[in-house]
């Protein structure tokens, strides 16, 4: 791995594009996972690392947090699309389901990540005041474990996911490029591949049905139906699986320029827009037809197409006024400020 390539972010852009594809694919297979053991396993396997890896990368690019105007820029780039799409989803669900109560503080579906992104940065300002990284991580993990004991914690303000995933964001902030250089040594790629394959096979045979909600990190222990005495141990185990899978994935990410590398900077658009495509498919006979035929491979093709289309220049040009309330040359967007990374 050449330092120049890592500095040019080929590696991170490759990771972000692959991860946003996995986000889209995971949402496509979600309605069908109960009909296929393979899809159920694939869904849980993907959800073990795809958002943690995205969150870790976001933390890695948050090192400028004490620069003048950094938080203002984060709030603008994240909260503007959050407010807009929260309203758009409200209109959509009102049209689909009838009466709907609008709230800015209970994010719809995928929008939790944007709200958590703001809160992670605020928490980061508090945590970096601790002198020792081990102390920071220790406190963050303790908070993540004990957050589940708060009975009413959940989707409101995305508090559950914010606290549970904050150690991952903090870890990304603490990591340096040399840490990724160590990950990317050729002799570690085989080990990473073996770990991920072994994990997938283990999930297929041993993953409990009720355990999938732990990966979403959006519920209290009481809601998850686990004995409170065992809950902390289960969450610690979840953290272990999450970190092992995330670092194994990051070890396998291509480090050279790929045909999709330049699309890795457009994940925000894919993340915000793909949900409406998923929802539109859900109100058509398409999913029912897929289940009847069992042709789930079509979902993979759709996920690839949707990811590529939504990260294309025409879509960016059309959607930018809605997402960012501004227009600019596409070249300016491509050479964006790299401090914000969202899925």
Q: What is the DSSP string of 120-182?
A: HHHHHHHHTTSS-HHHHHHHHHHHHHHGGG-TT-SSGGGHHHHHHHHHHHHHHHH--HHHHHH
pLDDT at 338 over 60: no
Q: What angle do CA 191, 173, 187 make, to 5 degrees?
A: 15
Mean pLDDT of 178-189: 87
How many CA atoms, within 13 angstroms, populate the side-chain half-sphere of residue 287?
Answer: 17
CB 93 within 8 A of CB 100: yes
Q: What is the pLDDT of residue 342?
A: 52
Domain presence at residue 143: yes
**pLDDT of 276-335, one tens digit each?**
899 889 888 999 999 999 899 999 999 999 999 999 999 999 998 888 777 764 445 444
pLDDT at 336 over 70: no
pLDDT at 3 over 80: no
Domain presence at residue 231: yes
DSSP, collapsed to helix, strand or coil, labels residue 283 as coil
Mean pLDDT of 142-156: 91
Domain presence at residue 309: yes
CA 93 to chain centre: 23
Stated length of the chain: 343
CA distance 212 to 48: 9
**pLDDT of 62-100, one tens digit each?**
998 888 888 888 888 899 999 999 999 999 888 877 777
**pLDDT of 103-143, one tens digit each?**
889 999 899 999 999 999 999 999 988 889 999 999 999 99
Q: How confident is the model at residue 249 (pLDDT cuts 50, 70, 90)?
A: very high
Q: What angle do CA 91, 159, 49 make, to 5 degrees?
A: 90
Q: What is the pLDDT of residue 116?
A: 96
pLDDT at 23 over 60: yes
Question: What percent of the chain stands above pLDDT 70?
Answer: 93
CA distance 248 to 240: 12
Q: What is the pLDDT of residue 176?
A: 92
Number of folded domains in the chain?
Answer: 1
Q: What is the pLDDT of residue 98?
A: 76
pLDDT at 49 over 70: yes
| Number of C-beta neighbours around residue 288 at 10 A | 10
Say which residues have a Cβ less than 8 Å from residue 39's Cβ, sequence separation at least 6: 29, 32, 33, 296
Q: What angle do CA 166, 73, 254 make, to 5 degrees?
A: 60
Say which residues have a Cβ less than 8 Å from residue 338's Cβ, sequence separation at least 6: 9, 61, 265
Q: What is the pLDDT of residue 8?
A: 53
Domain presence at residue 343: no
Q: What is the pLDDT of residue 6?
A: 47
Mean pLDDT of 249-270: 94
CB 223 within 8 A of CB 160: no
Domain presence at residue 341: no
Mean pLDDT of the chain: 89
Domain presence at residue 339: no
| Number of C-beta neighbours around residue 220 at 10 A | 18
Q: What is the CA radius of gyration of the chain?
A: 20
Q: How confident is the model at residue 341 (pLDDT cuts 50, 70, 90)?
A: low
Output the CA torsion 302→318→110→164 (10° steps): 110
pLDDT at 32 over 80: yes
329 versus 184: the higher-pLDDT residue is 184
Domain presence at residue 340: no
Domain presence at residue 122: yes
Q: Which domain holds residue 144?
A: 3-334
Mean pLDDT of 210-234: 90
Q: How confident is the model at residue 2 (pLDDT cuts 50, 70, 90)?
A: very low
pLDDT at 40 over 50: yes
pLDDT at 262 over 90: yes
């Amino acid at each position: 791995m050449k330092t120049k390539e890592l500095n040019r972010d080929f590696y991170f852009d490759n990771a972000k594009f692959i991860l946003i594809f996995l986000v889209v694919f995971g949402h496509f297979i979600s309605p069908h996972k109960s009909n296929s053991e393979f899809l159920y396993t694939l869904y849980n396997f993907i959800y073990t690392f795809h958002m943690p890896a995205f969150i870790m990368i976001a933390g890695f690019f948050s090192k400028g947090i004490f620069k003048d105007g950094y938080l203002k820029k984060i709030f603008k780039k994240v909260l503007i699309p959050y407010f807009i799409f929260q309203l758009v989803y409200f209109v959509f669900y009102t049209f689909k389901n009838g009466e709907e109560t609008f709230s800015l503080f209970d994010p719809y579906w995928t929008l939790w990540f944007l709200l958590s992104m703001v809160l992670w940065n605020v928490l980061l300002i508090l945590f970096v005041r601790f002198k020792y990284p081990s102390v920071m991580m220790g406190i963050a993990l303790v908070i993540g474990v004990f957050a589940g004991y708060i009975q009413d914690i959940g989707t409101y303000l995305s508090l559950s996911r914010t606290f549970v995933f904050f150690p991952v964001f903090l870890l990304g902030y603490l990591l340096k490029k040399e840490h990724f250089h160590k990950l990317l040594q050729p002799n570690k790629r085989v080990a990473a591949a073996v770990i991920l394959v072994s994990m997938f096979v283990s999930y297929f045979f041993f993953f409990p049905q009720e355990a999938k909600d732990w990966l979403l990190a959006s519920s209290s222990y009481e809601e998850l139906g686990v004995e409170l005495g065992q809950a902390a141990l289960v969450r610690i185990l979840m953290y272990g699986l999450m970190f092992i899978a995330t670092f194994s994935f990051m070890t396998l990410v291509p480090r050279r320029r790929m045909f999709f590398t330049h699309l890795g900077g457009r994940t925000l658009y894919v993340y915000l827009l793909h949900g409406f495509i998923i929802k539109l498919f859900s109100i058509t006979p398409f999913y029912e037809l897929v289940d009847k035929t069992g042709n789930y491979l079509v979902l993979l093709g759709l996920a690839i197409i949707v990811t590529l289309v939504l990260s294309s220049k025409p879509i960016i040009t059309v959607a930018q006024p809605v997402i960012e309330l501004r227009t600019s040359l596409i070249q300016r967007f491509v050479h964006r400020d790299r401090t914000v990374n969202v899925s």
